[in-house]
Amino acid sequence: MTESGITYDNLAASLLNDMINNIIKNEVLLNLSNHLSIEKQIGDNKENNNFKFQETDSSKDIYGQDKMKLKTVESGRYFSCENCGRKIAGGRFAQHINKCLERKRK
């Protein structure tokens, strides 16, 4: 029997191999536990899933209101800028405030 002595190379290779195996085991266990936790929360049955997408009309916003109607209502209202005193349409107010504060108009 030939027994090789412990060398730095053998020790380093053994430690590296153990570390890699432990990292892989930890990642697999973490992913498995996350998967099981999600399955437990939403259920394994795909038909019973609450995460279903609905096709929506592109002319409606996320609240179901008509986008064009909102734009006309927005542009019909005017606000006065407290910085420069001008009257600005509601649809352009945020853009105006941004530029107005940058330029520090008075």
pTM of the model: 0.36
What was the pLDDT predicted at 16? 96
**pLDDT value of position 8:** 92
Alpha carbon dihedral 89, 90, 96, 98, in 10-degree steps, equals 180
What's the pLDDT at 44?
Answer: 57
Weakly modelled stretches of the chain, pLDDT under 50: 1-2
Q: Which residues of 79-88 are buried (b: 16+ CB within 10 A; e: fewer)?
A: eeeeeeeeeb
Separation of alpha carbons 106 and 94, rounded Å: 17
